[in-house]
Structure 1
Amino acid sequence: MVVRRDLGIDLGTANTLVYMKGKGIVINEPSVVAMNADTGEVIKVGLEAKMMLGKTPASIVAVRPLRDGVIADYDVALAMLKYFIGKTRTSIAFFKPRVVIGVPIGITDVEKRAILEAGLEAGAARVFLIEEPMASAIGLGLDVEEPNGNMIVDIGGGTTEVAVISLGSIVVWESIRIAGDEMDEAIVQYVRETYRVAIGERTGERIKIEIGNVFPSPEYDGLETIVTGIDLSTGLPRRITIRGGEVREALMVPVNAIIDAIKTTLEKTPPELVTDIVERGIVTSGGGSLTRGMDKLIEKETGIKVVRAEDPMSSVAIGAGKVLDKVDILKKLQQVD
């Protein structure tokens, strides 16, 4: 029997998730490719490649081919897409899949074309692009096709997308290229400036995951973790203890930018839709929404309750896959075949 398994892909700056119709999320791996610096040969993709970040010899480079949610290195992104799509086709022969890829709002036509062409070249029969907040809303089961206002805040690795959705379309939106990666960098810079210790981006991400927080709380202040970096004065390794309150201070600038984007979107939203949002709440998704206290901070700054997605990391990929069954929305999507 010949089968076609259509795919929804969240081609994220930090992680790539692939949803297969009928099976759910089948791939969830870092968007990293390890390559031979001399020949360009792909050595590892995904989790194994991420483990090499900051640890490779001169002959091997670990590359993140997406920046701010769009393709920064086409050839490397294509190799990554081919690898991930290929992994979904190992068990049974079937037609090339139709693929829906989530993209940030407001990216340029050139950036869209690069993603569309990469999808086709990677083995898709047809490629559709869907804006990430719409995909996320569908993945979370919101009634996006009804005449009701739904507000979603998707805090990813490279971008934060804020959108109000009604009648199957995005009514107003804000997209900023400040999200999880900028949080990691803010922590790295804080440690450098405060302790005169250099740490890498993987360590910055670990600190964020272990004790990152954005809302004042004795519980969060009591968090701490030990990290090792290079003392900038001596050039020797040095261990330091980082506490929760310090991380909150470090994250202030990127998090305030996210709050401003939410407020700006609300200011542009028609009053009737604002009423719906107040009743339903602001829905948050994406890995950044897992930062401790993010929901409380948004509630405090907007006065609107926040509903955090049960599975915030997977919603874009799930929605991208499910949109193939929503004919009216599918007709609106940019596509190539």
Structure 2
Amino acid sequence: MSFTEEVGIDLGTANVLIYVDGKGIVLQEPSVVAVNKDTKEILAIGSEAKRMIGRTPGNIAAIRPLREGVISDYDITERMLQYFIRKTCGGSRIFKPRLIVCVPSGVTEVEKRAVREAALQAGGRSVFLIEEPVAAAIGAGVDITGPEGVMIIDIGGGTTDIAVISMGGIVTSASVKLAGDTFDECIVKYIRKKYRLFIGERTAEQLKKEIGAAFYGETPRKTLCKGRDLVSGLPRTVEVTSAEILEALEEPIDGICEAVHSVLERTPPELAADVGESGIVITGGGAHLRGLERRIQRKTGIRTRIAPDADFCVAKGTGESLKYIDMLRKNSLNRRETYI
């Protein structure tokens, strides 16, 4: 490994993606760690740990060390990052990679410090932070260097980041804790209330992906849902429709649409006019919810599209951000930091 190797990390609530300069995206693993609660020993990380969610004995916990876009368990996050970096770059301690890590817009100084320290302790030579909407825009192929305003909506696992970007920086933004995890929680609550059936988050996520919708004009779909009957305690199967999933997701989808509207209201008129002309771009795993772009377009009256390879835009943009390093270095995340 060259001492100049650059590694971009999309440190997401649901997944960690790693982009290596010259190689592209080399790793995509769930942000899940299985821990023995008695001995504190880490038993599995990533895909293997995710398979344990909802299936572990009492002394083993499959946990997510990141919540709502920020670190909730520093030690576990550090060890998870260390594992992924070693898996990607090898175990050499001689030449450490330079890390570019994306964070939600609006993170606090404490949260930024936690990300930096975790990345350095995990094996980084130096750490540069980039805000998720900026990374998403770069990864989606949007020109962020010009004076024209562009709008990005990045819907991840823990947060939805909305921003209007101009001259390589964020002009107006909002980060709301309504995203993929919220969608899953709403589906769990809806099925529990309507059918008296208890399902886990993996089943909810599957329902969201298979028949989820955000717009009533989408083609109806239905599927079978298995869970535990809350009355009898026995396994039971019910048929669930896309209209029901839409009803379950109505509140968080409305919340995202209101946040988009709020950002537009706070955007300078010239940049708002640019957005009206260029349109809105949606990135992130949540972009795949059927009809979401139509829902946002109806709310704003602005043409809205889903970026190609929406899941990978943030990771790709994080890795490719070095070409804009001089411009990005001036933003608030790295004003007091050196990147060598």
Q: TM tier, shorter chain?
A: over 0.9
Structure 1 CA distance, aligned partners of 2:91 and 2:230? 51
- Structure 2 residue 122 is matched with structure 1 residue 108: no
- Contact 1:146 1:166 (8 Å CA) reproduced: yes
Per-residue deviation, residues 68-121 of structure 1 (Å, max 9, x unmatched): 000000111111100111111239887211101110111111111111000000
- Contact 2:74 2:118 (8 Å CA) reproduced: yes
Corresponding residue of 2:151: 151
Segments ≥4 residues shifted beyond 4 Å: 91-94
Corresponding residue of 1:294: 292
**What amino acid maps onto 1:252 in structure 2?**
E
Count of residues in Structure 1 that have an aligned counterpart in Structure 2: 335
Q: TM-score of the superposition, structure 2-length normalised?
A: 0.95
1:224 Cα deviation from its structure 2 partner:
0.8
Corresponding residue of 1:217: 217
**What amino acid maps onto 2:209 in structure 1?**
I
Per-residue deviation, residues 156-209 of structure 1 (Å, max 9, x unmatched): 100011000001110001110111100000000000000000000111111000
Structure 2 CA distance, aligned partners of 1:93 and 1:106? 33
Describe how 1:118-157 pairs up with structure 2 within 5 A. 118-157=118-157
**SS at structure 1 position matched to 2:89:** coil
Structure 1 CA distance, aligned partners of 2:338 and 2:145? 24
**Closer, same or farther: CA 92–39 of 1 in aligned 2, 3 Å:** closer
**SS at structure 2 position matched to 1:88:** helix
Corresponding residue of 1:61: 61
- Contact 2:101 2:129 (8 Å CA) reproduced: yes
1:66 Cα deviation from its structure 2 partner:
0.3
Structure 2 CA distance, aligned partners of 1:147 and 1:182? 35
**What amino acid maps onto 1:44 in structure 2?**
A
**SS at structure 2 position matched to 1:205:** helix
Structure 2 CA distance, aligned partners of 1:92 and 1:276? 48
Corresponding residue of 1:180: 180
Structure 2 CA distance, aligned partners of 1:329 and 1:75? 33
- Structure 2 residue 25 is matched with structure 1 residue 25: yes
- Contact 1:116 1:336 (8 Å CA) reproduced: no
Corresponding residue of 2:13: 13
Per-residue deviation, residues 198-252 of structure 1 (Å, max 9, x unmatched): 0001111110001000101261x2x111111111111111111110100000000
**SS at structure 1 position matched to 2:28:** strand
**What amino acid maps onto 1:69 in structure 2?**
G
Superposed CA RMSD in Å reads 1.5
Which of 241, 262, 265 is residue 264 of structure 1 equivalent to?
262
Corresponding residue of 2:310: 312
Structure 2 CA distance, aligned partners of 1:218 and 1:81? 39
**SS at structure 1 position matched to 2:290:** coil
Per-residue deviation, residues 261-288 of structure 1 (Å, max 9, x unmatched): 0000000111111111111110000111
Q: TM-score of the superposition, structure 1-length normalised?
A: 0.96
Per-residue deviation, residues 277-300 of structure 1 (Å, max 9, x unmatched): 111110000111110000111111
- Contact 2:3 2:97 (8 Å CA) reproduced: no
**Closer, same or farther: CA 124–218 of 1 in aligned 2, 3 Å:** closer
Corresponding residue of 1:77: 77
Structure 1 CA distance, aligned partners of 2:70 and 2:327? 22
Corresponding residue of 1:327: 325
Corresponding residue of 1:248: 246
- Contact 2:7 2:99 (8 Å CA) reproduced: yes
Per-residue deviation, residues 111-152 of structure 1 (Å, max 9, x unmatched): 111110000000000011111001111111211111010000
1:24 Cα deviation from its structure 2 partner:
0.3
